[in-house]
Structure 1
Amino acid sequence: MTGTGVIRLTEADWRVFAALRLRALADSAGTDDAEYRTELTFTGTQWRRRLRAHAQFVLARDNRFVGLIAAHRASPVSVYLYSLWTDPDERGRGVAGELLTAAIDWGRELGARTVTLRVHQDNAAALGVYRGFGFVDTPDLPGIGENSSPADEVTMSLTLS
């Protein structure tokens, strides 16, 4: 995999996905984080299963992967986005916007009418990006993610036309 642009990963890309996901977790949560330590032990089968279950998009620039976002169909009419990450050297350069566009377009292709996500309430940069896309603060909705939002997260949604 080389080039530039957003790419949806397939099961065959599990090594790329594993490396980028672990890089993202190490950057955002640290290598002592329980989720990082758990995913560090994943087998190829587990990484491939994750790629089968949810859409994983990466952004390549100059033959280097600089961002990642995950999406899954939460219901026949809604998509849930999670784990948006951009390389620290690329922040503020439109990576998040390119990844969000790809994930939202994927949701549209599935016939989704709503895209939902969660973000830490103190992440001003992410909140700004999401609001720029038209996401609005929303009460927790049943079935959009694994659990209800922690108190320090904001649930946001975007209505697709």
Structure 2
Amino acid sequence: MIVRLGAHEVDRLRTLRLAALRDAPDAFGSTLAEAAARSAADWQRQLVDLATFVAVDAGRDVGMVRSARHPDEPTTGELLSLWVTPTARGRGVGAALVDAVVDWAGAEALHRLVLDVGDHNAAAIALYARKGFMPTGVTGTLPPPRTHVREHQRAREL
């Protein structure tokens, strides 16, 4: 089951995000130390600014993804922060979370979704390819101190 978090679910978001950063530190722009230092107000602001979806299995949160309108392209959305717990991988959780963002984008009348993925993350790249996200040719790196981690952008028309 996929649910959208409300602005009051700060602890739930914080717990999932910190778990993601512990598990896959080179998959996200933020570091564990940065995220752990955020205030409750900052976490709540994220829940207001970003549509946050959580996968729930047997009463446990097993994955998350966030999305937002692209700041420079009014008809484009961004798929952000996709993560699935190691024990839930390979069971369609990631695909269901991507579908939640696609549905959100449709409801927001967006025409395109973009995401950034680490070049080293073969499983995520395969998932995104199955879901219709194609490379755009835009590349970059994570922010310091992880500029050695290369990533590329993928996009999907809606």
For the superposition of Structure 1 and Structure 2, which TM-score range results when normalised by the shorter chain? 0.7 to 0.9
Deviation sequence 1:30-65 (CA, Å, 0-9, x none):
8xx972112112221111011111111110000000
Residue 105 of structure 1 is matched in structure 2 by 103
Check conservation: 1:69, 1:84, Cα contact below 8 A: yes
What is the DSSP-based 3-state SS (H/G/I as helix, E as strand, rest coil) of the residue aligned with 1:11?
coil
1:115 deviation in Å?
Answer: 0.4
Matched residues, number: 147
Structure 1: distance between partners of 2:83 and 2:3: 15
> Which structure 2 residues correspond to residues 40-51 of structure 1 after superposition, within 5 A?
40-51=36-47
Structure 1: distance between partners of 2:30 and 2:98: 27
Structure 2: distance between partners of 1:159 and 1:86: 24
Structure 1: distance between partners of 2:40 and 2:86: 27
Select the residue among 12, 19, 22 that pairs with 2:15: 19
- After superposing on structure 2, the runs of 4+ consecutive aligned residues of structure 1 that deviate more than 3 Å are none
TM-score calculated relative to the size of structure 1: 0.86
Q: Classify 1:44/1:116 alpha carbon distance in 2 versus 1 (closer, same or farther; 3 Å).
A: same
Check conservation: 1:76, 1:111, Cα contact below 8 A: no
Deviation sequence 1:89-133 (CA, Å, 0-9, x none):
111111100000001110011011000001111211111111101
Check conservation: 1:6, 1:102, Cα contact below 8 A: yes
Q: Classify 1:9/1:77 alpha carbon distance in 2 versus 1 (closer, same or farther; 3 Å).
A: same
Residue 130 of structure 2 is matched in structure 1 by 132
Select the residue among 120, 123, 137 that pairs with 2:121: 123
1:139 deviation in Å?
Answer: 2.6
What is the DSSP-based 3-state SS (H/G/I as helix, E as strand, rest coil) of the residue aligned with 2:80?
strand
Select the residue among 74, 77, 85 that pairs with 2:75: 77
Structure 2: distance between partners of 1:26 and 1:124: 19
The alignment-based identity, stated in percent, is 31
Structure 2: distance between partners of 1:28 and 1:47: 20
Structure 1: distance between partners of 2:116 and 2:38: 25
Residue 149 of structure 1 is matched in structure 2 by 140
**Structure 2: gaps of 5 or more residues:** 142-148
**Structure 1: gaps of 5 or more residues:** 141-147
Structure 1: distance between partners of 2:45 and 2:121: 30
Structure 2: distance between partners of 1:53 and 1:130: 24
Q: Classify 1:108/1:24 alpha carbon distance in 2 versus 1 (closer, same or farther; 3 Å).
A: same
